[in-house]
């Protein structure tokens, strides 16, 4: 069985989730070696075809910032040599692509030529990557990768705009493994509104609270907030200041989002920009309409007035009004729920997985 390495963030963020689900799905055909500083959160069980290699970073008083890229580069080199890997697939350019292309150089000195596939996810390009302090390094890493994919056309064009890329970027959208064979029946007297994210500023979670504040004035509803991150505290303070505490639940980070999405009536994702919006796709796979913003690749996933609404960033009144009209009109709701579920079908894992396998087959038979 061929051995492939997957390098990713082990966290709840989208790129780590995509990498973990991809590795799990491929493990019936390949032996998959995850390389990260922790075991990826979605990988609850390893088996003989799914292995995990921890990146240990040296700590030393002189190091103000532990040299993670160096430790990652070295771990990749050692794992390739020890397990005879045939290919490395990295998710999120920073610092994974940079470490991988440098590991490839080191391995070439040992007469090992291993292909590096880089998948760009979003904030590695739109926020962090285009930051001038890392542009040259990321540009180098993208161009030295054997093959580059992006999770949306929008992200591909952002990458070509911000970087001097001399190779083709293949678009392979994110995918979903359907958990619900049909749209769950929801008879919630009190409508359930949900938001899931890493609570970073790009997610604009205070807008989630503002939109919900508008909704609950007209609709008997509650808000479930899943996730944790830098804006968690300020969001809780806003909820208390607006006396919404009785109808907003902060449940922290969770791997069990399916149970919540199963009973959710509406999903809110008012981000500054989303290259794809994996979490919106997860909601749609349960027939949940999504209200999001018309910024980034998410507009190709959530079709405005069909599977939800895409509104101007920050226009919380518009989002509230659209949510109220949707939740008050059973016929409209059923139609949008059906559209959301059907749209999600286009991203079923069984349709997308072969696209990644075809990339691998360019390098390994």
**Closest Cα to residue 229, out of 206, 245, 257?**
206
Task: Establish if 227 lies at the interface with ligand GMT (CB under 6 A).
Answer: no
Determine if 121 is a binding residue for ligand GMT (CB under 6 A): yes
| 275 belongs to the binding site for ligand GMT (CB under 6 A) | yes
Counting residues that bind ligand GMT (by CB under 6 A) gives 21
Q: Which stretch binds ligand GMT (CB under 6 A): 53-61, 82-90, 122-130, 326-334?
A: 122-130
Strands 290-293 and 221-226: unpaired
Nearest residue (CB) to ligand GMT, 18 versus 261: 18
Nearer to ligand GMT, 58 or 201 (CB): 201
Binding of residue 202 to ligand GMT (CB under 6 A): yes
User: How many alpha carbons fall within 13 Å on the CB side of residue 225?
Assistant: 26
Among 123, 216, 293, 320, binds ligand GMT (CB under 6 A): 123
Tally the residues of the chain: 365
231 binds ligand GMT (CB under 6 A): no
- Other C-beta atoms closer than 10 Å to the C-beta of 227 total 24
Would the CA dihedral through 101, 102, 105, 106 be positive or negative? negative
DSSP string, 306-360: TTEEEE-TT-HHHHHHHHHHHHT-HHHHHHHHHHHHHHHHTTBHHHHHHHHHHHH
Interface of this chain with ligand GMT, residues 87 to 106, rule: CB under 6 A: 92
| Interacting residues of 298 by C-beta distance below 8 A, sequence separation 6+ | 269, 271, 274, 275, 276, 277, 280, 292, 310
CB nearer to ligand GMT: give 216 or 295: 295
> Does residue 174 touch ligand GMT according to CB under 6 A?
yes
Provide the mask over 51-90, with x wherever binding to ligand GMT is found by CB under 6 A and - wherever it is not.
----------------------------------------
CB-CB neighbours of 60 under 10 Å: 7
Instruction: Single out the segment in contact with ligand GMT by CB under 6 A; choices: 25-33, 56-64, 270-278, 353-361.
Output: 270-278
Closest distance between ligand GMT and the C-beta of residue 309, in Å? 17
Closest CA to 2 of 364, 358, 357: 364
Among 14, 40, 227, 229, which residue interacts with ligand GMT (rule: CB under 6 A)?
14
């Amino acid at each position: 069985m061929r051995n492939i390495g997957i390098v990713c963030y082990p966290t709840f963020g989208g790129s780590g989730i995509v990498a973990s689900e991809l590795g799990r799905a491929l493990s019936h055909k390949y032996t998959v070696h995850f390389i990260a500083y922790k075991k990826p959160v979605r990988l609850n069980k390893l088996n003989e075809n799914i292995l995990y290699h921890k990146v240990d970073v040296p700590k030393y008083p002189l190091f103000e910032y532990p040299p993670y890229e160096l430790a990652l580069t070295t771990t990749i080199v050692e794992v390739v040599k020890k397990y005879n890997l045939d290919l490395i697939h990295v998710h999120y350019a920073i610092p994974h692509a940079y470490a991988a292309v440098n590991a490839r150089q080191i391995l070439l000195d040992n007469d090992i030529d291993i292909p590096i596939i880089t998948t760009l996810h979003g904030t590695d390009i739109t926020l962090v990557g285009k930051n001038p302090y890392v542009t040259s390094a990321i540009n180098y890493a993208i161009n030295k990768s054997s093959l580059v994919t992006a999770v949306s056309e929008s992200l591909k064009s952002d990458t070509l705009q911000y970087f001097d890329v001399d190779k083709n970027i293949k678009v392979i959208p994110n995918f979903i493994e359907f958990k619900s064979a049909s749209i769950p029946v929801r008879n919630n007297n009190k409508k359930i509104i949900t938001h899931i994210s890493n609570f970073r500023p790009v997610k604009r979670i205070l807008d989630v609270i503002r939109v919900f504040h508008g909704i609950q004035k007209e609709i008997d509803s509650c808000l479930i907030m899943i996730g944790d991150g830098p804006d968690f505290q300020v969001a809780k303070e806003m909820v208390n200041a607006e006396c919404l505490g009785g109808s907003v639940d902060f449940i922290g980070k969770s791997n069990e989002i399916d149970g919540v999405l199963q009973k959710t009536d509406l999903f809110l994702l008012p981000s500054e920009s989303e290259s794809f919006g994996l979490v919106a796709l997860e909601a749609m796979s349960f027939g949940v309409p999504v209200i999001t913003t018309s910024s980034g690749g998410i507009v190709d996933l959530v079709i405005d007035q069909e599977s939800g609404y895409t509104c101007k960033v920050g226009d919380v009144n518009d989002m509230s009004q659209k949510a109220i009209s949707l939740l008050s009109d059973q016929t409209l709701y059923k139609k949008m729920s059906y559209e959301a579920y059907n749209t999600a079908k286009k991203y079923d894992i069984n349709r997308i997985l072969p696209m990644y396998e075809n990339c691998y087959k360019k390098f390994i038979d």
